[in-house]
Amino acid sequence: MKTMLGFLLCLVNFLWMVSALAQTYPSKTIKVLVGFAAGSGPDIQAHAVAQQLSLQLNQAVYIENRMGANGTIAAKSVALSNPDGYTLLFSSSSISSTPYVYKNPGFDLLKDLRAVASVGILDGMLVLVNAKSSMASISDLVDKAKKERLMYGSPGVGNIIHLASESINLNAGIGMEHIPYKGASEVMTGLLSDSIQVMVVTPPSVLNLVLEGKVRALAFTGSKKFGPLPEVPLLKDLYPSFDPIGSWGIFFTPSKTPIEVVDKLNAAVREALKANNVATLMQRDGYFPDNRNSQEINAFFRNEVLRMKEPFKAAKIEPM
């Protein structure tokens, strides 16, 4: 009887502390880890939303770039951190491949992280070549790849960009060679210097380069035309068997973070997205608004991870 009474008292005390935490949250600075380089698409989005969150929550929200392993190093740091809502992760869909790329990443993506809120869904990615290239269409790319060696770059091995590039190989019946880099900016440097000939990338960090005529967009991997570049054809229209591949931006907390804190963060992010500067940025970059609550976005994230299994298997990308 005493044991049961003690347990109930501990449970009541725990629930009281959780409730108190939610009521006073946030009471100090919030750190957001981004697993990609400064100036990358996820970094630009994270800074825009963090600035607005600072105003809404009346607390400093700062970004820390912790690059490596397709965003997995930053994800691990957050997954193993104190689940109090003061250490967050912001990531693109690149981390959804973690279970299929790393045999032992040091954490369980689905068990140790919880998706909190999305800044939007990006329907697809751009297939780029150097503006000086003789390739002016996907047909040109395919013809050239069948005659000579073509190399494409991605920020590492097993990320969503690697998968999208291999899907082009599979659907077009070609064998472009993969050259892994440390980050997207290095891939772009490789493309501009002709160290590689092809690059698949999310639009945010490269749209200005396309509009300035420094790189050429040959195709879009989404299910519908990319708004800022309506003249760019869809890969699925060229190859009906091509399964559209896009991306997203999501905030995460450690999985044991109290649901009251998670829901408070979800509401704050959704409100931040209404700010003109943030909404304009997301729309410019081709992101569709995503107003789902924390339970819905977490279910979406889990499904995204699970659906990666078959494409990675088909692309013959083996875990490292």
What would the 3-class secondary structure string for 93-136 be? HHHHHHHHHCCCCCCCHHHHEEEEEEEEEECCCEEEEECCCCCC
Taking CA atoms, 175 is separated from 140, 145, 147, 170, in Å, by 14, 7, 11, 8
Report the distance separating Cα 27 and Cα 218, nearest Å.
Answer: 48
Report the distance separating Cα 142 and Cα 270, nearest Å.
Answer: 42
Mean pLDDT by 10 residues, the chain (320 residues): 54 48 86 91 93 96 92 96 98 91 93 97 94 97 97 88 91 94 89 97 88 97 92 95 90 97 97 95 86 96 89 80
Pairing of strands 126-130, 198-201: antiparallel
Q: What is the pLDDT of residue 184?
A: 81
Report the distance separating Cα 211 and Cα 227, nearest Å.
Answer: 13
How many C-beta atoms surround the C-beta of residue 151 within 10 A? Answer: 17
CB 165 within 8 A of CB 179: no
Q: Is 252 helix (H, G, I), strand (E, B) or coil?
A: strand
pTM over 0.85: no
Q: What is the pLDDT of residue 268?
A: 97
Q: What is the pLDDT of residue 2?
A: 55
Q: Is 33 helix (H, G, I), strand (E, B) or coil?
A: strand
Instruction: List the 151-154 sheet strands across, edge first.
Output: 177-180, 151-154, 198-201, 126-130, 215-220
Q: What is the pLDDT of residue 202?
A: 87
Domains, the chain, in order of start with CATH, read: 29-122+247-314 (3.40.190.150), 126-238 (3.40.190.10)
Q: What is the pLDDT of residue 158?
A: 82
Q: What is the pLDDT of residue 32?
A: 98
